[in-house]
Amino acid sequence: MPLHIETPLLESRPLSHAAECSVWLKLEALQVPGSFKIRGIGAACEEYSRRGARRFVSSSGGNAGLAVAYAGRRLSTPVTVVVPETTSARARELLHQEEAEIVVHGASWHEANLLALSMIEEADAFLHPFDDPLLWYGHATMIDELARSAMTPDAVVLSVGGGGLLCGVIEGLRRNGLGQVPVIAVETAGAASFNRSLLAGHPVELDTISSIATSLGAKRVCERAFQWSAAHSIRSVVVSDCSALSACERFLADHRLLVEPACGASLSLAYDESAALAGFSRVLFIVCGGATATIDQIREWSASAAISQEAL
C-alpha cells in the first residue's frame, strides 16, 4: 500500500458561487502529514528503501520535511531533517512527533540544505523538497485519481513554490490523456520565481523571499518546471499576501479546513473572481494543504500585511 491516501474530490458550492463557475477541490490537505508532499516523497522513500537506504536525510522544516519524517517512521527508517533557524516551533513539534532527528542550521533553507548535503553517507538517501523525478511521478497520482472519476476539468489551479507540484500535475495530466487541460500556476508577490522566469524567458533566481507564504519560498524553480512552460499551456498568476491570507480564513469557514498561505494563494483566485478563471466552466483546485500554520499565526500575518499595504 502507498504511504499516501486517495483524497476526496468534491464540488465546492461556496467557491463556485464566489468564482461564478463550477469549482472542484482535490483535498490534499487531508493527507496524514498535512499536504500533497507525501505522494511524491512517499514514493521516493519507498524506492530508496528498496535500493537499500538505511537513513533518509531532508533539508526542509516545512511540509517536505514532515512528509519525509512520516515516511521514515512508516518504513522503520531513521530520518534526519536539517531545518533553518526560522523554522517555527509548531513545525519542530510535528517533526518530533514523527520521531525525526532535527538539526537546526543557518538562516535560510539554502544554508540548511548545504549542511544536509554534506551529511550524506553511503547508505543514506537525500530527499529533495521538489526537484526529483521520483517526486513528480508520485505527485501525479492525484491526477490518476481524477482520471478515474467522472469529472474532467477545463483547467487546473495550483500553487507554485519550487515547482514539484506543477511538474507532477502536468505529468499526471499527460499520462492520463488530459494534456490539453491548461494549468493556472499561482504565486505570491515576493516569492514569484516562476513568474519572473517566464517573463525573462529563462530561469531566474530571486535575491530574497519577502512573502509570508514561506512554503512558496523557493528562490528558483526547478529546471523541469520551466521546461514545461514551453510544452504545456501554463498561465502564471501572482497574488498578494493579503489575498492568500484572506482565502485561508474564508476556506476555513467554508470547508472547516485550515491551509497555509501557500495554498490560500491558489484558492484566492476563486474568492477574488480572478480574471484568470474567465472562460472556464469547470475548474479543479489542488488544495495542497500545509501542516505548520495555525489560525492565530494566519491572523497575525493578516494584521501585519494589512498594515504594510496601508503604508504603501
Tell me: the pLDDT tens digits for 182-209? 999 999 998 899 999 999 999 998 888 8
Q: Are 33 and 56 in contact (CB under 8 A)?
A: no
Question: In 246-262, which positions are buried (b, 16+ CB within 10 angstroms) versus exposed (e)?
Answer: bbbbbbeebbeebbbbb
Note the pLDDT tens digit of each residue in 75-133.
Answer: 999 999 999 888 888 899 999 999 999 999 988 788 888 999 999 999 999 999 999 99
The type of residue at 253 is: A
**In the chain, which residues fall in CATH 3.40.50.1100?**
9-36+134-311, 37-129
Give yes or no for residue 217 having a pLDDT over 70. no
Q: pLDDT tens digits for 284-309?
A: 999 999 888 899 999 998 988 777 66
194: three-class secondary structure by DSSP: helix
Q: What is the pLDDT of residues 169-188, one digit of tens each?
A: 999 999 999 999 999 999 99
For domain 9-36+134-311, give the CATH number: 3.40.50.1100
- pLDDT per residue as tens digits for the range 22-54: 999 999 999 999 999 999 999 999 999 999 999
Cβ-contact 100, 20 below 8 angstroms? no
Residue 228 has pLDDT above 90, yes or no: yes
Helix (H) or strand (E) holding 142: helix 141-147
| pTM for the predicted model, two decimal places | 0.94
CB 244 within 8 A of CB 188: yes
By CB neighbour count within 10 A (0-12 exposed, 13-18 middle, 19+ buried), where does 199 fall? Answer: exposed
Query: Would you say residue 59 has pLDDT above 80?
Result: yes
The arrangement of secondary structure in 37-129, i.e. its CATH architecture, is: 3-Layer(aba) Sandwich (3.40)
Average pLDDT over residues 273-278: 96
